[in-house]
Structures are given as structure tokens and as C-alpha cells.
Amino acid sequence: MSDKPTPEEAQSEESPPEAVSSEAASSDEVLSEDGFLDDEVAAREAAESEATGSEEAESEADLPADAVKAGIAAARAALADVPPEPGAPKLDPILKAVGVKRAFGGLVAVDVEHLEIQRGAITALIGPNGAGKTTFFNLLTGFDRPSRGEWVFDGRRADRMRSYQVARAGMVRTFQLTKALTRMTVMDNMLIGAANQVGENFWAGLIPPLWKAQEAANRRKALELLERFKLIDKREDYAGELSGGQRKLLEMARALMLNPKMVMLDEPMAGVNPALKQSLLEHIKGLREEGMTVLFVEHDMDMVHEIADWVAVMAAGKLITEGTPDSISADRRVIDAYLGAHHDAAQR
Ligand SMILES: Nc1ncnc2c1ncn2[C@@H]1O[C@H](COP(=O)(O)OP(=O)(O)OP(=O)(O)O)[C@@H](O)[C@H]1O
Ligand SMILES: [Mg+2]
């Protein structure tokens, strides 16, 4: 039997809106529990209480293009001096994970001692098949529970959050096997992506005019995103009629309904034809231009070279090295990890 949630289970965990209000009320207790990453959380909270205005997502959207470009340059500069070593500290990490372990029976699928993801940059997570990349994504986003481990996302302890709480905190992921609901229209898939936000204000949900205003806003946003991802003509089609590549685009568009701070993409380019691949690449770069942080799993090193600012490498559950795409390509440990995996596969 597999512990992994089936697509349906994972989907249903995403958010029954009525459950959201009661769970959300208890999330602060969870965050204040003891843990050695809590000093960082406290520091971040103190900094936030000093800052005026909490609508971070809104103010980011209003940033002039020059400021956004400066932000990207700063993110890259922040990585320029980071040593190419596993667990290397970053100047401004949006995510910091410590001692994250997940075992399935005797198999240790993930055993990451320390990983920091630089805010505003595109980080690729690479590694041979079975390295633990998807399991690590599942853990970080609350779709699976670790045997042990702690992590802080954007100043908040996130290791006890449920998947919808993680998404609402701004860490949103897509799946290696796309999870578009095939017997629903493209538009409805988008609106489901925003369902978390409806539950965000329980009382507003009870007052029809407020609820309707929210729904109208969601529709406007969905249409904008479908336009941007060139799916607008497909909005009334069933998601099941889309090509594999279009489903990947739909999943990315749906993730953006939640105004994420960090987007995690599990093999966004797999099974996508070359023409759509290029457009997916441009969309991923676009996320960075808007100030988002991107963490994506990819096997194709050409793709990694083209868009990643930084690369983290996993093998047999562990983070074996990190570095710029150039330093990673030349790294003996990486070459050995891939050759080792091929060697093992050949022997089976
Ligand atoms: N639910 C589960 N139950 C038992 N073993 C699992 C489960 N999920 C993953 N594993 C095992 O954990 C290891 C890591 O798997 P994972 O899917 O995370 O690898 P991956 O790096 O994403 O690989 P790929 O590149 O093929 O997608 C594999 O050995 C896999 O068989
Ligand atoms: Mg995987």
C-alpha cells in the first residue's frame, strides 16, 4: 500500500472551504510551538510589526518595472558569493528547512539536513529518478508529513501547516502528474484554485453581496490569467480535452490564482512539446520578473541552464551539492550521482 495521496485525496485536502475557518484559527498556536527555527520567526514578526501596511502582495504588484529588475539583479547578486556547498546559507532566504527526513518503512526517501532558498531567484532542484525530489515537495507543501524536520517559510513555521494553509501562506505548488480536474471546464479549474480565498473570510462567505464580489474578482483574475497563458479560447472546454502541455499551463495559471510568493513546479516541462516548452520557460521567467520566487524540478540540464539562477542537487534523499548551473555541470558528485543511478537501473 502506498502512503502517497492519490490525486483525488490530495485534491480534496486542498480545501473544503467550511473547514478552512476553524483550522485557520488554530494555525497561530501551531506556529508558536517550540522549535529551534522559532527565533527566526520571532525576528521576522518583529520586523513586520515595525513595517507599515501588511498588503505585501499588493505593493509588490505596484512596483515599477525598474524596481523589479533591480530585485532580480539583487537576487542574483545575493547568490554570486554563496559557496557551492550543500546547505549553504543565503542572503535572504524565503524558505529555510532543517533536518527534514521522511522514511517509508526502511527506505529513507528524504534526508535533507539544511536547505535555504533565495528569495526572488529561480532555483532548480535536480537529481536522478527516485532521489526524493517529489517527496520533498510533498513535505514542504503539507501533502505529506515528515518523520522529523522543521522549516520556515517567509518568516512562519510551516512544518505543521496543512496543504491549504501552506498555499495561503504563499507557497503554492504544481504536480508532476497534472491534477487538472478533467471533467470540469478550464474556467472551473481556475475558480477552484481560488477556493481557498473564499474561505479566508468566513463571515464574508455568509453575506451574499460580499461573496459575490469575491467571486466576480476571482472570475476577472481567472480570465486575465487564461489570457496570459493563451488558454482563453479553451475556457469552456473540459480540462480533459487539453494537450499535456496545455494542462501544465493550466496548472501554473491555477497556482497563480492564489497570489503566491513562491511557486514550486514539479517537472513543469515533462511531456510538453518543444513549442510549448519555450512558452513555459518564458512564463517561469515571468514569475521571477514579478518578484516571485521559483523552485522547480527538472531533468533537462539545458532547461536548467537557460532559466535557473541556482541549482540544488539531491541523490538518494540527501542534498549532495548546490551551486550555479555552470558549477553544477562540472561537479563530479553530480555526474557520479547520475551515472550511479543509470548504473543501478541497468543492473535491475
Ligand atoms: N508513498 C510512498 N511509499 C513508499 N515509497 C515511496 C512513496 N513515495 C515515494 N517513495 C519512494 O521514495 C523515493 C523517492 O521518490 P520520489 O518520487 O520523491 O523521487 P523523485 O526524485 O521525485 O523521482 P522522479 O525524478 O522519478 O520523479 C523512491 O524510492 C520512491 O519509490
Ligand atoms: Mg518526482
Cell (9 digits) for 66: 525598474
- 303 occurs within a structural domain: yes
The total number of residues written for the chain in this structure: 348
Beta carbon of 320 within 6 Å of any ligand 1 atom? no
Q: Give the ligand 1 atom nearest the CA of 133.
A: 21
- pLDDT of 62 > 70? The answer is no
pLDDT cut 70: percent of the chain above it: 75
Dist. CA 151–CA 157, nearest whole Å: 6
- pLDDT of 32 > 80? The answer is no
| pLDDT at position 207 | 66
Dist. CA 264–CA 172, nearest whole Å: 6
Dist. CA 64–CA 76, nearest whole Å: 19
- Atom 31 of ligand 1: nearest residue by CA position: 130
Tell me 63's DSSP state.
-
- pLDDT of 326 > 50? The answer is yes
- 179 occurs within a structural domain: yes
Q: Residue 66, SS3?
A: helix
- 16 occurs within a structural domain: yes
Type of residue numbered 204: A
Dist. CA 3–CA 264, nearest whole Å: 21
Residue 117: HSE in the Cβ half-sphere, 13 Å Cα cutoff: 28
- Atom 26 of ligand 1: nearest residue by CA position: 129
Q: Give the ligand 1 atom nearest the CA of 4.
A: 1
More confident residue, 70 or 248: 248
- Distance in Å, CA 112 to ligand 1 centroid: 15
Beta carbon of 109 within 6 Å of any ligand 1 atom? yes
Q: Which residues contact 324 (CB under 8 A, 6 or more apart)?
A: 79, 84, 309, 310, 311
pLDDT per position as a tens digit, 151-173: 999 999 999 999 989 998 999 99
| pLDDT at position 47 | 64
Any idea which of 131-135, 232-236, 245-249 has the lowest mean pLDDT? 245-249
- 3 occurs within a structural domain: no
Beta carbon of 45 within 6 Å of any ligand 1 atom? no
| pLDDT at position 250 | 93
pLDDT band, very low/low/confident/very high, at 242 (cuts 50, 70, 90): very high
Beta carbon of 291 within 6 Å of any ligand 1 atom? no
- 4 occurs within a structural domain: no
For residues 238 and 189, the answer to whether their CB atoms sit within 8 Å is no
Q: Which residues contact 106 (CB under 8 A, 6 or more apart)?
A: none
The mean pLDDT of 269-291, rounded to a whole number, is 90
- Distance in Å, CA 106 to ligand 1 centroid: 13
- 2 occurs within a structural domain: no
Dist. CA 269–CA 298, nearest whole Å: 7
Tell me which residue range forms the domain holding 218: 9-347
Closest ligand to 144 CA?
1
- pLDDT of 215 > 90? The answer is no
Q: What is the mean pLDDT of the chain?
A: 81
The mean pLDDT of 59-65, rounded to a whole number, is 57
Bridge partners (DSSP) of residue 28 are none
Total count of domains within the chain: 1
pLDDT band, very low/low/confident/very high, at 59 (cuts 50, 70, 90): very low
Q: Give the ligand 1 atom nearest the CA of 144.
A: 1
pLDDT cut 90: percent of the chain above it: 52
Tell me 252's DSSP state.
H
H or E stretch covering 262 = strand 262-266
CATH assignment of the domain containing 305: 3.40.50.300
Identify the top-confidence range among 46-50, 128-132, 327-331, 332-336.
Answer: 128-132
- 34 occurs within a structural domain: yes
